[in-house]
Amino acid sequence: MTIEISTERRRFPGISPRAYEHPADRGALVALRAVPGLPAVLRALSGAVGERRERLLLLASAVKVTSKQFPEVQALRLECAATLEVSPVPEVFVLRNPEPIAMAIGMDTPFLVLSTGLIELLDTDGLRFTIGHEMGHVLSGHAVYRTLLLHLTSASLNLAWFPIGYWGLRAIRLSLEEWFRKSELSCDRAGLLCGQDPAAALRTHALLAGAMSTEPDALVDFLAQAEEYDDAADIRDSILKLGHLSGRSHPLPALRAAELQRWATSAEYTAVLGGEYPRRVDDPDTSFTAEVKAAAGAYRDAVTSSNDPLAKLVTKAGGAVADGLRSFRRP
């Protein structure tokens, strides 16, 4: 694989993760960031032991990416970090596994893990998109907040006797899964900002879903699957769709691809490419009310555009929760 780093790709100095975060993801993150001392609490809960344990295990069982080991991945690592101004640049480890896997791990010193299966499956542009996606997780601090939510989930499971009962715990789990899925949509956008090539992102989504062909006509058919899925308005299909989401931390591949392609044609994406984006320096002054309002708006848009009767109810409920958060005030 020969790496080609284009000087035409834009970089985004000082970019805030708010520039690419999905409104529902961003609203949840703003709420969490509004809690004073939260990072300290998280570190007390985890002691960074898990992070240290995982890195030590990878040092002993995987290959650390350098200019000598996986030089193409090393070049993309540096390029994507520079594009989103992620510093320090996260280390990358490559793990022998035929399955295509990519993840960001860690709170204090995040690092990325890629599988050999992923590297063998994707071309340079696909790897750029994927590494950019994982850099988005790092910049958004998703690992920090996912750690908190996992601790809360674990704690809730130990309180099964509590009056909220099974359905209350299930509602908590479904809410966490919903946020996980929205965070993945956010980082697809970060990956697109790194590659600035919607076609490469679409090829990547199709390949990860199992596509054998990434010719343009085949990709059009792949996107059509998402439209067909959304158009199924029978109540029986609606019930089946809800079952598809149970236990999933990632969006369904065809729907995920369609969501990113819509963002790629949006005025928001065009503005970011043109240098009009929120800066990190302004993050402390972010309006909580405005972000939650945007999250509620995203859910309402989903209600409007969906033909699925149960999806309308679920997204409307999500919008109601987001609207309810408006009453929250920083201490």
Comparing 289 with 208, the larger pLDDT belongs to: 208
174 pLDDT above the threshold of 70: no
Crossing angle of helices 23-33/165-195, nearest 10°?
110
318 pLDDT above the threshold of 60: no
For residue 70, which of 48, 49, 93 has the smallest C-alpha distance?
93
Asked whether residue 211 is domain-assigned, the answer is yes
61 forms bridges with which residues in the sheet? none
For the ranges 136-145, 200-209, 267-276, the lowest mean pLDDT is seen at 136-145
Distance CA 32, CA 66 (A): 35
Q: Which residues are catalytic?
A: 134
Please give the model's pTM, rounded to 2 decimal places: 0.80
Q: What share of the chain is helix, strand, coil (3-state, %, to 5)?
A: 65, 5, 30
- Average confidence (pLDDT) over 267-295: 82
Asked whether residue 12 is domain-assigned, the answer is no
Q: What confidence score (pLDDT) does residue 331 get?
A: 44
- Per-residue pLDDT of 65-86, as tens digits, reads 999 999 999 999 999 999 999 9
The parent domain of residue 232 ranges over: 17-327
For residue 23, which of 325, 322, 260, 244 has the smallest C-alpha distance?
322
- Average confidence (pLDDT) over 88-96: 97
* Total domains in the fold of the chain: 1
Asked whether residue 8 is domain-assigned, the answer is no
- Average confidence (pLDDT) over 270-299: 77
Distance CA 93, CA 104 (A): 10
Distance CA 105, CA 108 (A): 10
232 pLDDT above the threshold of 90: no
- Average confidence (pLDDT) over 205-230: 94
For residue 319, which of 328, 309, 302, 191 has the smallest C-alpha distance?
302
Strands (E), the chain: 63-64, 91-95, 102-105, 111-115
SS3 159: coil
For the ranges 19-28, 122-131, 182-191, 251-260, the lowest mean pLDDT is seen at 19-28
Asked whether residue 2 is domain-assigned, the answer is no
Q: What confidence score (pLDDT) does residue 215 get?
A: 96
On average, the pLDDT of the chain sits at: 79
Comparing 217 with 169, the larger pLDDT belongs to: 217
Asked whether residue 3 is domain-assigned, the answer is no
What DSSP line would sit under 64-75, residue for residue?
A: E--SSSSHHHHH
Asked whether residue 149 is domain-assigned, the answer is yes
For residue 233, which of 301, 287, 307 has the smallest C-alpha distance?
307
* Distance in angstroms between the alpha carbons of the first and the last residue of the chain: 53
